[in-house]
Chains A and B, each alone.
Chain A
């Protein structure tokens, strides 16, 4: 076979490669030219019958032909792949407005969410997180908190009684755990106690007989009102992620002395809104210096140690945080409410 003829074969093969429309065409070309019984093989098979100098010439020519076809096929494969990608990119029919398909998810109760947030803040400041019984003894709920029988302050706590001799009750606040903590730990210590509390109240949009509180208790040497103010400001800064003004004013709770109401400058408005009842202050939590009688009930010497305590209204914080306007939802167990707090 002359070089011209070889050139013709090559031109023909490359023409076919160029015109190949897909992988199948290229496979056909490989079969026709490069595989067993193909054109190149036939050329090589004819070599032994040639004169020696022609053998070398044709041999190398056939090899060049083979390489050229292989190269052309590879190139064409690349082109075709690129075309394919381009076609994929140009594909039509995508509707970007179809609704998202949501993964199935559950939810954490909003009270849990806020409780965790507060627990994390206080835990990071070295507070232990404690728990206490909901069915409580009068001793812990009242007596040891300096609220003896017939104390007028008992009227402030509409109590669910669990027996006729007023021995057992549903705790009206998380404060009984103050005494339990004092009994259990040696000062200095810091603790918070989230939990459910009960007051005998008729339920409506803003009242629940079951609600959540978070008690705080810090006992140590040289604890002052200044520490209470500093602690509450730090906590509020973490919770609302900005500095909020607070004010303490006198408040009466028999288990603290002095006792305060802590107000926080309303974070939702400037100059009054419905949340703060147009006063710009939100009553956040009762607090105070632990009453010396309470320390003594807990077995701690008030001459050596002082402390402060506070009682945050968790349910109230939850309602503020999520702008829930009806407290009944919190204990209502309705999925239509719960699903909104997905996680």
Chain B
């Protein structure tokens, strides 16, 4: 909202303060000031010129060559300026932008030649100075202005514009006009508010103007007839103030209506009464499909949820939003109907939103306005009009209908409570004075009885804490001394999940050298379809910001899959993980909250080795990472099971995946990226790589018992390290070979590590060689050569029983 500093001066004496001080005071004590700018600063550079001569341009019919005296603002000689305006004439006082002056739109005036004639400046129109729309001719200033002086001063346009953050006024409907803001300044700076007559003058006798309210969303409607009005231009002071707050002055009636709104915060409307039915006004809900053309010349169609002002059955205005074209005031208007009303906030907001028509009026009604304000606004309007046109008449009493109630209320305020909430030694007397200055009625001692006036009781002050805020903000929060919290410290509740998350992050970002990512909770339709998860139920965002992103994720892993291509494009090796939440709408609790899952997802892209030489596969490495995480987090790991082809998750290679934990909700799943998915994601060809994924359930991990780490004594007797290789049929799993070694060891195998996997001629077709480092060790003695050779002969038999042969290294 824009506030004019000069406008404030109509309500409060600003002697001895500055716009800067006022803006600062508002920010600290009332609401955030977002900007403070001089009004139309270029007007300080544009000067008054006197047209001494004005001749036709020798080479152009429509141009004039003028000699303009700019007094002290020039070098003493008149400026020669070429001007194209039809209304230019000798003797006029005009606004001159000299060479070097910068006008709005970064338009810098330069010395130029126009059709061969030199021009040293520009005579400005109202539009060029952003003071109006008129571009039909130059702006002719009134006589009596001083030549050479800034137009800002001579046209009385020096002002400051204060911009207040609308959000910070959400709860202060009383501050949506200059009088309200002025009241704040008065209270903060200890000034007094100038009196303003807001009592409706007596009308002529007779029957009240007919007003009927049929709609509950209208709580009050005042219709006041005014006669003998002459429309025309509004007074300069009013135009200037309206300009300062960004309004375009139009004519007296429109400007007056706006002025009252920006002055008191009460939107209002003026109808040309001759265009209304003699039956008066009916406020009612629209019929579905009913139409009307609004003031902006757009035909609007309504629904039964919109509220209309009607007369003789016809819509004449959209309640709280905008008037109708058919009943608007014009040059000929002499008989008015002044509308000042109270509408409920929500219906106005909905209608304004539906019509895409947020107006200054609707913005104010949306805040819930004081229902006693309409009569004050009507009175203000009549007083202002009467000052200009003393012979106007109020031919009959106003119609005043609606079920409104005065919201004024009484609140008890304990001065002790003020001190104990603020933590500051605020004296009773200060509390009393502050509240009085802010317009509250105060009586009592210690516990004050505070009368809350209707303008503050509307949507703001209703309980003791609200009054504590009033006192506190005027006292100044900066004057409250800081204090330390004191209490008996008890350990914070143990949070196993948070501890687990930290442990996982530390391990992954540290030793495992993975990068933590955070991705959006939405998964696009495109991604989910590509993976093949489209049919899974999901929490749906009904108003997504991007059309295809309405799925709240069930699990985290697909989000990582969505990042593979981008990162593979930039890196040969990619290691990513994310810890996040997934939501299952199909498993809601009794309150309708979807089940929340806590998950860790991992993705690893490695360059394919390309050779047949033994090397760990991506799955082996990823398994290692997962096992290490369980170990690092001190959780018992249940062990892997090979995944069944038909049960593979859609992202996994059906033949290359493993699972650990319960089938329904595994603790961990690892697998290679499904080959078809790799193709769909563009991860073949030049972006090819070995891609392994894993999904870990933090909930599953936490359901596992804690692994107790206990000390094992260091072996007292040396072990024997031997290397063995088992040439076995291709179909034999490594696990079976390892088991054979364990059996052969009869409890002496303390260490077993596969270090080579070989296929080749020397092993024979359909066979492979598994080579292990084996550590044989006894806790009770040093092993003899004989014991070692017995191990080998047992192993030889074991291997043969597997259909293989032992190759000693």
Q: Which residues of A contact B (CB under 8 A)?
A: 104-109, 111-112, 116, 123, 125-131, 133-137, 150, 152-153, 155-156, 160-164, 167-168, 170, 188, 190, 196, 198, 200-203, 209-210, 218, 220, 222-227, 229-231, 233-234, 247-252, 254, 257-261, 289, 291-292, 306, 330-331, 333-336, 338-339, 343
Q: Which residues of chain B are near A333, meaning CB under 8 Å? A: 517-519, 559-560, 562-563, 566-567, 576
Q: Cβ of B485 and Cβ of A225 under 8 Å apart?
A: no
Top 8 closest pairs, chain A to chain B, by CB: A224-B423, A226-B423, A258-B469, A248-B477, A230-B482, A226-B483, A128-B492, A106-B509
- In the complex the two chains form, what is the Cα distance from A302 to B789 in whole Å? 82
Q: Which residues of chain A are near B469, meaning CB under 8 Å? A: 250, 257-259
- Looking at A111, A230, A258, which has the most chain B CB atoms within 10 Å of its CB? A258
Known A-B contacts A131-B498, A258-B469, A338-B517; the reply to A227 vs B420 at CB < 8 A is: no
- In the complex the two chains form, what is the Cα distance from A249 to B490 in whole Å? 33
Q: Which residues of chain B are near A155, meaning CB under 8 Å? A: 170, 349, 366
Known A-B contacts A112-B505, A209-B545; the reply to A250 vs B465 at CB < 8 A is: no
- In the complex the two chains form, what is the Cα distance from A129 to B517 in whole Å? 22
Residue of B nearest to A291 (CB): B465
What is the interface residue range for chain B against chain A? Answer: 35 or more
Q: Cβ of A331 and Cβ of B482 under 8 Å apart?
A: no
Known A-B contacts A123-B492, A190-B485, A250-B31; the reply to A135 vs B594 at CB < 8 A is: yes
Q: Which residues of chain A are near B423, meaning CB under 8 Å? A: 224-227
B669 → chain A closest CB, angstroms: 21
- In the complex the two chains form, what is the Cα distance from A221 to B489 in whole Å? 15
Verify if B379 is at the interface (C-beta below 8 Å from A). no
A210 → chain B closest CB, angstroms: 5
Interface CB pairs A-B, < 8 A, 7: A131-B497, A160-B545, A167-B592, A209-B545, A251-B32, A334-B570, A335-B576
Q: Cβ of A128 and Cβ of B478 under 8 Å apart?
A: no
Residue in contact with B465 in the complex, picked from A218, A233, A289, CB distance below 8 Å:
A289
Q: Which residues of chain A are near B465, meaning CB under 8 Å? A: 257-258, 289, 291-292
Residue of A nearest to B345 (CB): A152
Q: Cβ of B472 and Cβ of A137 under 8 Å apart?
A: no
Q: Which B residues, 491 to 524, have Cβ-Cβ distances below 8 Å to chain A?
A: 492-493, 495, 497-498, 502, 505, 508-510, 512-521
Q: Cβ of A229 and Cβ of B482 under 8 Å apart?
A: yes
Residue of A nearest to B347 (CB): A150
Verify if B593 is at the interface (C-beta below 8 Å from A). yes
- In the complex the two chains form, what is the Cα distance from A233 to B477 in whole Å? 14
Q: Cβ of A258 and Cβ of B468 under 8 Å apart?
A: yes
A296 → chain B closest CB, angstroms: 11
Verify if B621 is at the interface (C-beta below 8 Å from A). no
- In the complex the two chains form, what is the Cα distance from A233 to B484 in whole Å? 10
B150 → chain A closest CB, angstroms: 27
Known A-B contacts A133-B596, A218-B485, A225-B480; the reply to A164 vs B542 at CB < 8 A is: yes
- In the complex the two chains form, what is the Cα distance from A10 to B170 in whole Å? 110
- In the complex the two chains form, what is the Cα distance from A330 to B520 in whole Å? 10
**Besides A252-B169, A257-B469, 15 other CB < 8 A contacts?**
A105-B510, A126-B485, A126-B489, A128-B493, A131-B497, A133-B593, A135-B593, A224-B423, A226-B422, A226-B480, A231-B485, A250-B477, A257-B466, A258-B473, A338-B516
Verify if B581 is at the interface (C-beta below 8 Å from A). yes
Known A-B contacts A161-B541, A161-B543, A162-B540; the reply to A198 vs B521 at CB < 8 A is: yes
Q: Which residues of chain A are near B575, meaning CB under 8 Å? A: 106
Q: Cβ of B566 and Cβ of A334 under 8 Å apart?
A: yes
Q: Which residues of B contact A (CB under 8 A)?
A: 27-32, 167-172, 345-346, 349, 366-368, 420-424, 459, 463, 465-466, 468-469, 472-473, 477-478, 480-485, 487, 489-490, 492-493, 495, 497-498, 502, 505, 508-510, 512-521, 539-545, 552, 559-560, 562-563, 566-567, 570-571, 574-576, 581, 583, 591-594, 596
B412 → chain A closest CB, angstroms: 13
Known A-B contacts A225-B424, A225-B472; the reply to A106 vs B518 at CB < 8 A is: no
- In the complex the two chains form, what is the Cα distance from A331 to B170 in whole Å? 31
Q: Cβ of B422 and Cβ of A224 under 8 Å apart?
A: yes
Residue of B nearest to A292 (CB): B465
Residue of B nearest to A283 (CB): B32
Q: Cβ of A170 and Cβ of B492 under 8 Å apart?
A: no
Q: Which residues of chain A are near B170, meaning CB under 8 Å? A: 152-153, 155-156, 252
Residue in contact with B28 in the complex, picked from A133, A137, A247, A258, CB distance below 8 Å:
A247
Known A-B contacts A105-B513, A190-B485, A200-B543; the reply to A258 vs B472 at CB < 8 A is: yes
A337 → chain B closest CB, angstroms: 9
- In the complex the two chains form, what is the Cα distance from A289 to B468 in whole Å? 11
Q: Cβ of A162 and Cβ of B492 under 8 Å apart?
A: no
- In the complex the two chains form, what is the Cα distance from A234 to B482 in whole Å? 10
A108 → chain B closest CB, angstroms: 5
Q: Cβ of B519 and Cβ of A170 under 8 Å apart?
A: no
B573 → chain A closest CB, angstroms: 9
A217 → chain B closest CB, angstroms: 12
Residue of B nearest to A125 (CB): B485
Q: Cβ of A104 and Cβ of B424 under 8 Å apart?
A: no
Q: Which residues of chain B are near A249, meaning CB under 8 Å? A: 27-29, 32, 477
- In the complex the two chains form, what is the Cα distance from A20 to B123 in whole Å? 108
Residue of B nearest to A226 (CB): B423
Q: Cβ of B517 and Cβ of A109 under 8 Å apart?
A: yes
Residue of B nearest to A191 (CB): B492
- In the complex the two chains form, what is the Cα distance from A70 to B552 in whole Å? 85
Q: Cβ of B515 and Cβ of A106 under 8 Å apart?
A: yes
Residue in contact with B521 in the complex, picked from A123, A163, A170, A248, CB distance below 8 Å:
A170
Q: Which residues of chain B are near A291, meaning CB under 8 Å? A: 465
Known A-B contacts A226-B482, A331-B520; the reply to A162 vs B539 at CB < 8 A is: yes
B31 → chain A closest CB, angstroms: 7
- In the complex the two chains form, what is the Cα distance from A259 to B170 in whole Å? 13
Q: Which residues of chain A are near B30, meaning CB under 8 Å? A: 250
- In the complex the two chains form, what is the Cα distance from A259 to B32 in whole Å? 13
Q: Cβ of B27 and Cβ of A126 under 8 Å apart?
A: no
- Looking at A108, A130, A247, A291, which has the most chain B CB atoms within 10 Å of its CB? A108
- In the complex the two chains form, what is the Cα distance from A338 to B575 in whole Å? 11
- In the complex the two chains form, what is the Cα distance from A333 to B569 in whole Å? 13
Q: Cβ of A161 and Cβ of B542 under 8 Å apart?
A: yes
Q: Which residues of chain B are near A223, meaning CB under 8 Å? A: 485
B566 → chain A closest CB, angstroms: 6
A326 → chain B closest CB, angstroms: 15
Q: Which residues of chain A are near B171, meaning CB under 8 Å? A: 153, 252, 254
Q: Which residues of chain B are near A168, meaning CB under 8 Å? A: 539, 592-594
- In the complex the two chains form, what is the Cα distance from A170 to B594 in whole Å? 12
Residue of B nearest to A343 (CB): B509
B553 → chain A closest CB, angstroms: 10
Q: Cβ of A260 and Cβ of B519 under 8 Å apart?
A: no
Q: Cβ of A112 and Cβ of B513 under 8 Å apart?
A: no
Residue in contact with B505 in the complex, picked from A108, A188, A252, A335, CB distance below 8 Å:
A108
Residue of A nearest to B562 (CB): A333
Q: Which residues of chain B are near A107, meaning CB under 8 Å? A: 509, 515-516
- In the complex the two chains form, what is the Cα distance from A259 to B466 in whole Å? 10
Q: Cβ of A201 and Cβ of B545 under 8 Å apart?
A: yes
- In the complex the two chains form, what is the Cα distance from A133 to B589 in whole Å? 13
- Looking at A155, A201, A202, which has the most chain B CB atoms within 10 Å of its CB? A155
Known A-B contacts A125-B485, A220-B487, A333-B519; the reply to A225 vs B513 at CB < 8 A is: no
Q: Which residues of chain A are near B167, meaning CB under 8 Å? A: 156, 252
B206 → chain A closest CB, angstroms: 40
A250 → chain B closest CB, angstroms: 5
Known A-B contacts A227-B423, A227-B483, A261-B32; the reply to A250 vs B466 at CB < 8 A is: no
Q: Cβ of A292 and Cβ of B168 under 8 Å apart?
A: no
Q: Which residues of chain B are near A250, meaning CB under 8 Å? A: 29-31, 168, 469, 473, 477
Q: Which residues of chain B are near A234, meaning CB under 8 Å? A: 484
Q: Which residues of chain A are near B517, meaning CB under 8 Å? A: 109, 333, 338
Q: Which residues of chain B are near A220, meaning CB under 8 Å? A: 485, 487
A56 → chain B closest CB, angstroms: 50
- In the complex the two chains form, what is the Cα distance from A16 to B29 in whole Å? 100
Q: Which residues of chain A are near B514, meaning CB under 8 Å? A: 106
